[in-house]
């Protein structure tokens, strides 16, 4: 592969999109609950046969490595159990395909790898239970607020080099430290917490995902939303 730093993607300074992240509620719980009235729900077990969802394995040119379906995550165990969660809503999956196609043209040899995608509400609740009472809850949507992952409209991704190793993004996936926050990248770069090469890798990831229509968040370099978060929560069925 060519070196990922050879040409710089958009500056990391514009990295932070909406300031919400998978962060806890900014509105009172009651107001959030009101927006959920009338929302539909689909059990995860029905997703495989559901026409509005697409299997990640049907997307050409990507790798799928769902970390929460292995012990390789901050919880240290498989939180999906036997659930098959390798899906996104079709519009988000189609956008992942566009991001992979964009990368294949602009960064040949670099592969998009999906680390988490559809995360049913029951799994969100299990993760919340693991973090409850710690400051780390700021990295997770409260189950009552609904994670965009639980609608199949958010995806966690990183990039693999041609040799199959992850590109160095400065922190690992779900590493809950300030260096993971796109909003602090300029500061981290100035202080030596992140290098220009690491930020260039993040920049390529963001460029590919934004090209495909995804939005960044301010707190996690690996997380991307498809569509307006409020609209998703209001209009789309929650996966249970
Ligand atoms: Zn995420």
- Is residue 54 within 8 A of residue 96, CB to CB? The reply is no
Question: According to the model, what pLDDT value does residue 39 have?
Answer: 53
220 is catalytic: yes
Question: According to the model, what pLDDT value does residue 73 have?
Answer: 86
Question: According to the model, what pLDDT value does residue 31 have?
Answer: 41
Question: According to the model, what pLDDT value does residue 25 have?
Answer: 36
Residue corresponding to tokens 């996936």: 173
Write down the pTM of the prediction.
0.83
Facing residues of 114 across strands? 64, 157
Question: According to the model, what pLDDT value does residue 14 have?
Answer: 39
Measured in angstroms, how far is the CA atom of residue 154 from the centroid of ligand 1? 6
Measured in angstroms, how far is the CA atom of residue 151 from the centroid of ligand 1? 12
Measured in angstroms, how far is the CA atom of residue 47 from the centroid of ligand 1? 19
Question: According to the model, what pLDDT value does residue 214 have?
Answer: 98
Does domain 41-239 sit in CATH 3.30.420.610?
A: no
Measured in angstroms, how far is the CA atom of residue 149 from the centroid of ligand 1? 7
Binding annotation for Zn(2+): 149, 156, 223
Query: Closest by alpha carbon to 219, among 158, 139, 137?
Result: 139
CA distance linking residue 203 with residue 221, whole number of Å = 10
Residue corresponding to tokens 């290098």: 195
Q: From the candidates 101, 130, 185, 220, give the one annotated as an active-site residue.
A: 220
- First and final CA of the chain: distance in angstroms? 41
DSSP assignment of the chain equals: ---TTSS--S-GGG---BS-TTPPPSS-HHHHHHHHTT--EE-GGGGGG-TTEEEGGGSTTEEE--GGGSS-STTSS-SSTT----EEEHHHHHHHHHHHHHHHHHSTT-EEEEEE----HHHHHHHHHHHTTSGGGGGS--TTT--GGGGT-EEEEEEE-TTSPBP--SS-TT--SGGG-GGGHHHHHHHTSS-HHHHHHHHHHHHHHHHTTEEEBSS-TTEEEES-HHHHHHHSPEE-
Q: Mean pLDDT, 10 residues at a time, over the chain (240 residues)? A: 39 38 40 49 95 97 94 86 93 98 98 97 92 85 93 98 97 93 97 98 98 97 96 95
Residue 136 corresponds to which tokens in the numbers above?
Answer: 């780390």
CA distance linking residue 116 with residue 136, whole number of Å = 18
Residue 37 corresponds to which tokens in the numbers above?
Answer: 């009235």
């Amino acid at each position: 592969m060519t070196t990922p730093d050879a040409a710089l993607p958009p500056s990391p300074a514009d990295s932070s999109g909406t300031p919400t992240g998978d962060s806890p509620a900014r509105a009172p719980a009651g107001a959030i609950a009101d927006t959920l009235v009338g929302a539909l729900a689909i059990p995860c077990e029905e997703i495989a046969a559901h026409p509005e969802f697409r299997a990640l394995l049907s997307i050409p040119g990507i790798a799928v490595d769902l970390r929460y379906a292995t012990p390789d995550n901050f919880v240290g165990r498989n939180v999906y159990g036997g659930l098959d969660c390798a899906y996104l809503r079709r519009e988000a999956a189609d956008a992942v395909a566009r991001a992979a196609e964009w990368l294949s043209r602009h960064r040949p040899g670099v592969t998009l790898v999906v680390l988490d995608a559809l995360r049913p509400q029951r799994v969100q609740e299990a993760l919340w239970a693991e973090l409850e009472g710690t400051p780390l809850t700021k990295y997770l949507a409260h189950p009552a607020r609904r994670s965009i992952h639980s609608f199949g409209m958010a995806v966690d991704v990183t990039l693999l080099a041609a040799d199959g190793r992850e590109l160095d993004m400065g922190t690992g996936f779900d590493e809950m430290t300030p260096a993971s926050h796109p909003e602090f990248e300029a500061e981290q770069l100035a202080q030596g917490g992140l290098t220009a090469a690491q930020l260039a890798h993040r920049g390529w990831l963001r460029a590919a995902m934004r090209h495909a229509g995804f939005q960044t968040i301010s707190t996690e370099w690996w997380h991307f939303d498809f569509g307006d978060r409020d609209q998703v929560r209001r209009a789309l069925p929650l996966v249970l």
